[in-house]
Amino acid sequence: MKNKSSIIALIRIVIPNLIGNRNAIGFKIPACAGMTTTETITACPKLVIARRNDEAIPFKKSDCFSSHKPGFAFDSYRMTTTLPDLHLTLSALRRGKTIFPETLGKQSLSTVISSEAEKSLNLLEKISRLRFTSLEMTDEFKSKGWISGFLLLLLFFFSSSANAKILLPQILSSNMVLQREKPINIWGFASPSEKIEVTFAGQSKTTITDKTGNWSVILSPLKTSSKPQTMTISGSNKIELTNILVGEVWVCSGQSNMEYAMRKLAKIPKPKNEKLGFPSDEVAKAKNNQIRIFLVNRKQLNKPDSIHKSWAVAQDSALRSFSAVGYFFAKEVQEKLGIPVGMISSAIPGSAIEPWISEDAFAQEDYFKNQKVSNDPGKFYPTMIEPLTKFKIKGILWYQGETNCFLNETISYSYKLKTLVNLWRKAWGEQLPFYYVQIAPFDYSKQKSDKVVLTPDTEPNFWEAQQQVLRLHNTGIISTSDLNDNGGDLHPTYKWEVGRRLALLALAKTYNQQISFSGPIYKTVNFKDGKAVLDFDYLKTPNSSLTGFTIAGSDGKFVNADAIFKDGKVIVSAKDVKEPKAIRYNWTENPSGNFYSNGLPALPFRTDNPLINQFKTN
């Protein structure tokens, strides 16, 4: 029992050095004999601490867990596991080293481990997906008593604290909303060959985990439920997820204007357009428990969750940090449909579009073959989108583009957005609705850039590139031409109106409500008798006198034009242009045209759009 006492003594020394960390136990490994502690274990690659499926697992071999593979991760400096609240420091190991005699490392482990610890060791096969069936050390490490002591301590902790409990991904938690009327995936991690049972809403599903500990069940489509329900997941332990609703779930993503948090509304100046309202006190007033929110944490989403509190009711501190666009979208949809709405926000300020798209997806798009894609392609997709794709949703909202507009992109952005839409739909396995936002007016031409020349046409050209994706099935865009009081503000206010306009798209196109949801969108033009006759989608009676139109003849010089509404069409002309060839509307980074319909602004356009023939949807 002397050795057991030594283990306990070491634990007593280590415990005061423990640092709380729900997801990791970490340490630095002192190096081989004669090496400094800052040199890494990669210099000693023969150290083997375990075998998995008859394969030796050395310290240097990376075996990181993900949302699909819980377990251990080994690299030069750090080991991570799902053990809660443990962090072994190097200083603790150094002090612990003195507890164990140098001869300890020369004995076999079976003679060192007490009978109680040996019984616990038998349970290690069930720890996550690693099967500890043998332990080996090189001669140079056997002479180091600390490594045996360390291994014993590690095994002691594992056997007593990590008995392969059922774990769930972050996206499955109490307070969540499950998508109605679709088969629902419920999945997680446990010991290999463990029986798992999931019960919810009168359904009970069972499965056996595979050899890596992964498990998944599919619940039959669920009916709308505003009444909170409890889900139970049972195996070696029991998890209860409470306060679950069934309704509509949407993902919102993009860069800073989508990430823009609700708390900022209380600090911004009162906007100029009073007709659009100003809900500066919305966080204080929000008490609707039928709206639930999930804010993606880039560093945590891939990790298993043992707390089950990632979802929250849309109020108080959780709402303060959540996307304003996402919340106001949910508020409008919930109010109009009268059903629960769940919003998942996954956005990164300043991000270009490329990190949200996998490198494989770029490789499969003909436009990008034989060219290098910049801006860190695939950086955010595997950590912020892919882990969500097993979770059933209704649709996607996208508000991004400013970073790419600063690079003077046109058709390249059209193809990037097309690639993103196709990738995400494929990942979720459905042709999901994809609704996105025209980036707001901004003085790009006044910004300095050492990469490209920014002109007054930079942003209109980008708007045109954005609109090409409307040719894809089940997409929609909202105009924001009237939603910036200051051309120097890249993050304009009116996020509540952006959310509302996106909701109008969803209510009309996804939920089939008979409402007006879009301003005029240009279709065709016919030049006749010195005038241009334009057709539009979604055009009802606009203002009698229209502004913001320009016209050009064969010389390509655009001048201000007169525009009137007549017989369902817009007639544009100018007395100095006898034979018009092209029309433009709000073709400026500071648009002021008054062409509205249904209370919503027309999208900027030009009839001489070169991308019509350049952009291919297939």
Give pLDDT, residue 450. 86
The residue ranges of the chain whose pLDDT is under 70 are: 1-163
Which residue type sits at 476?
A: G
Q: Which of 188, 212, 245 is the last residue of a domain?
A: 245
**346 shares its domain with 448:** yes
**227 shares its domain with 342:** no
**355 shares its domain with 469:** yes
**241 shares its domain with 254:** no
Give pLDDT, residue 163. 54
Q: Which of 211, 230, 245 is the last residue of a domain?
A: 245
Residues in Cβ contact with 405 at an 8 Å cutoff, skipping those fewer than 6 apart: 413, 439, 444, 458, 459, 462
Give pLDDT, residue 337. 98
Evaluate whether residue 496 is within a structural domain. Answer: yes
Q: Using alpha carbons, select from 198, 125, 196 the residue that is nearest to residue 166.
A: 196
**489 shares its domain with 562:** no
**What Cα–Cα distance (Å) separates residue 559 from each residue in 536, 549, 553, 575?**
22, 9, 9, 10
| 535 strand-pairing partners | 524
Strands 596-597 and 600-601: antiparallel
Residue ranges making up the domain that contains 209: 177-245
State the greatest distance between any 2 C-alpha atoms of the chain, in Å, as a whole number: 106
- Residues 329-354: b if buried by 16+ CB within 10 A, e if exposed: bbbbbbeebebbbbbbbbbbeebbbb
**What Cα–Cα distance (Å) separates residue 186 from each residue in 223, 233, 307, 609?**
17, 9, 17, 47
Q: Which of 510, 530, 547 is the last residue of a domain?
A: 510
Q: Using alpha carbons, select from 389, 473, 374 the residue that is nearest to residue 429.
A: 389
| 112 strand-pairing partners | none
- Residue 588 parent element (H or E): none
R_g of the chain, CA atoms, integer Å: 30
DSSP code of residue 116: H
Return contacts of 196-202, CB within 8 angstroms, 24+ apart. 196/166, 196/233, 196/234, 196/235, 197/232, 197/233, 197/234, 197/235, 198/231, 198/232, 198/233, 198/234, 199/231, 199/232, 199/234, 200/229, 200/230, 200/231, 200/232, 200/244, 201/225, 201/229, 201/246
Evaluate whether residue 552 is within a structural domain. Answer: yes
**119 shares its domain with 202:** no
Which residue bears the tokens 């960390």? 21
Q: How many domains does the chain have?
A: 4
Give pLDDT, residue 370. 87
Give pLDDT, residue 466. 98
Q: Using alpha carbons, select from 524, 526, 546 the residue that is nearest to residue 536.
A: 524
Evaluate whether residue 357 is within a structural domain. Answer: yes
Give pLDDT, residue 123. 42
Evaluate whether residue 169 is within a structural domain. Answer: no
> Residue 257 is part of a domain; what is its CATH number?
3.40.50.1110
Provide the whole-model pTM.
Answer: 0.77
Evaluate whether residue 47 is within a structural domain. Answer: yes
Return contacts of 192-195, CB within 8 angstroms, 24+ apart. 192/126, 192/129, 192/131, 194/164, 194/166, 194/235, 194/236, 195/235
Q: Supply 317's token pair.
A: 């501190």
**350 shares its domain with 402:** yes
Evaluate whether residue 596 is within a structural domain. Answer: yes
Residues in Cβ contact with 464 at an 8 Å cutoff, skipping those fewer than 6 apart: 410, 604, 605, 606, 609, 611
**261 shares its domain with 366:** yes
**234 shares its domain with 255:** no
Q: Using alpha carbons, select from 435, 524, 429 the residue that is nearest to residue 474.
A: 435
Evaluate whether residue 320 is within a structural domain. Answer: yes
Q: Supply 425's token pair.
A: 């739909």
Evaluate whether residue 49 is within a structural domain. Answer: yes
Which residue type sits at 138?
A: T
Q: Mind listing the pLDDT tens digit for each residue in 409-461?
A: 999 999 999 999 999 999 999 999 999 999 999 999 999 988 899 999 999 99
In sequence order, what DSSP letters do the residues of 15-60 get, joined into one string? GGG----TT----PPP-STTS-TTS-GGG-TT-EEEEETTEEEETT
**156 shares its domain with 43:** yes
Q: Using alpha carbons, select from 274, 327, 259 the residue that is nearest to residue 491.
A: 259
Q: Mind listing the pLDDT tens digit for each residue in 500-525?
A: 999 999 999 999 999 999 999 999 99
- Residues 90-111: b if buried by 16+ CB within 10 A, e if exposed: eebbeebbebbeeebbeeebee
**Measured between alpha carbons, how far is 433 from 182 in angstroms, rounded to an integer?**
15
- Residue 594 parent element (H or E): none
**543 shares its domain with 488:** no
| 178 strand-pairing partners | 246
Give pLDDT, residue 358. 98
> Residue 187 is part of a domain; what is its CATH number?
2.60.40.10
**557 shares its domain with 414:** no
- Asked if 218 contacts 200 with a C-beta cutoff of 8 angstroms, the reply is no
- Asked if 503 contacts 510 with a C-beta cutoff of 8 angstroms, the reply is no
